Copies of this chain bind each other. A is one copy, B any other.
């Protein structure tokens, strides 16, 4: 009677708010930014240079989102001209481990995925041929 209907499923359920959080934290640029900020704090244009592909709009949006979620901290130094520094928060640091786990999975299994894709696409093309081109 330690478990009810589910066969000891797995520990966690995956709800809509989980998905939302994942989307915000693993979106197109978050990982890049976290990469940079984990090594050192950086200013806005430093990040732009470090991640050349990001547009300023997306960089702003992603930083705001990460700041809102408590993952990065923004501090304004009122000098001339203004200096704004972004750094990773304590909460943000706890995100490294799970993200790195993901990246390591890609590093070790990415080649397997590539091979699987090759097989899949070959078979698809082959099946297409069988059906008269």
Write the residues of chain A forming the contact surface with B, with a CB cutoff of 8 angstroms.
7, 9-12, 14, 17-19, 21-22, 26, 28, 31-32, 35, 38-40, 67-71, 91, 94-95, 97-107, 109-110, 112-113, 115-117, 119-121
- State whether A68 and B103 are in contact (beta carbons under 8 Å apart), knowing that A14-B31, A14-B32, A38-B10 are contacts in the complex: no
Bound-state CA distance A63–B95 (Å) is 28
Add 7 more A-B contacts to A12-B104, A12-B106 (CB < 8 A): A11-B107, A14-B103, A18-B103, A18-B106, A19-B28, A91-B109, A101-B102
Is the pair A91, B116 in contact by a Cβ cutoff of 8 Å? yes
Is the pair A100, B12 in contact by a Cβ cutoff of 8 Å? yes
Number of copies: 2
Query: Which residues does chain B contribute within 8 Å of A110, judged by CB atoms?
Result: 17-18, 21
- State whether A26 and B35 are in contact (beta carbons under 8 Å apart), knowing that A109-B94, A112-B70 are contacts in the complex: no
A113, closest chain B residue (CB): B69
Q: Which of B39, B70, B95, B113 contacts A10 (CB 8 A)?
A: B39
Query: 4 smallest A-B Cβ distances: which pairs?
Result: A70-B116, A98-B101, A68-B120, A98-B105
A117, closest chain B residue (CB): B68
- State whether A35 and B21 are in contact (beta carbons under 8 Å apart), knowing that A98-B105, A116-B68 are contacts in the complex: no
